[in-house]
Amino acid sequence: MEADDAFDPGAAPPPDTDVEPEGFVVVLEPNDRIHFLDWGGPTEPGGRTERDPGPGGPTERDPGPGAPPEPGVLLVHGLGQTAWSWIAVARRLRRARRTVAMDLRGHGLSDAPTSGYEPETLADDVLAVAEGSGLMATPDDRIVLAGHGFGAIVAAWAAALLGDRCAGLVLVDGGWTDLAAATGQESDEFARTLDEPPEILRSMTAFLADRRAFDPGTWDADQERAARTTVVETHAGRVVPTTRPHVLARSVEAMFAFRPTVVLPSIEASIAALTAADDEDGTSDRALEAAQAALEAAGRRPIRLARFPTDGHNLLRYRPREVAAAVLALRSAP
């Protein structure tokens, strides 16, 4: 399977290193709070952003007579991560589009109830953030969804629910594999493989050193900030993950319920996929081929693919320009 070279990294703006996002919550029944970061968008005359309401109402830029408004972007993080994992990508995207990154339930600053981790509820959370943030403030508004790992699965469920209000779906190293079939494991078995080694959790210094060692060249203050949001330091000096065991278990159950050859063909929008280093047995390749075949059988457009065979799973950190370029490439109406 050949990679699509349409995602020109030069199309992504440089990062806005000065901006700080604002944090907000939306409240869903039965009083579950879902947190998101609003990175804003391109600055308008007078210092307002695309969606910042002034005295006369919304200040969205005029896209031209009869043209639909440009879609905003909603970013969904991976398992055990937070909205801050998108920081290097969001700093670029917000120069071109209104950009929001959410904390999935049980992650980051969102509530961690004991229930609500079914596909339908997770997808509803995404839609609630899209509406509550103002990304879908009017019936004409459309959004691009982008997800990483587990977040790619959730974004796919949400894209199917949105129908023609989804302007594009970007899957970053996830969202095309049937984990139950690929691993041959039960979800609880898989969840146990995610435990961090004790030596990494012995202190914040050890934890950050481990994260930095993944790729020292891309480690900076933003990446440290993102890493720190995934753990909390105890009085004894050790660190523990902020994602609680019941959340991890329920989230993995949701991942194992994902059937890409059913969900992806039900999505009306164009789909892009960015894949990191291939697994040795070709599982990812076979999963992508199965997904492409299912899309073709349903009369859908094929997935636009970009490969990064020398990079690890965190393309948000290693390839932020390329990820941002893929998101922007799907900004127009299909």
Each domain of the chain, given as residue ranges in start order, spans 9-41+69-186+255-329
12-31 pLDDT, tens digit per residue, is 999 999 999 999 999 999 99
Share of the chain above pLDDT 90, in %: 82
pLDDT at 45: 36
Is the distance from CB of 80 to CB of 194 less than 8 angstroms? yes
Reported as type and span, the H/E element at residue 167 is strand 166-172
198-216 pLDDT, tens digit per residue, is 999 999 999 999 999 999 9
Tokens (6 digits) for 66: 């009869």
Tokens (6 digits) for 206: 């050890």
pLDDT greater than 90 at residue 67: no
Tokens (6 digits) for 134: 């103002």
CATH superfamily of 9-41+69-186+255-329: Alpha/Beta hydrolase fold, catalytic domain (3.40.50.1820)
**Does the reported pTM lie above 0.85?**
yes
pLDDT at 55: 32
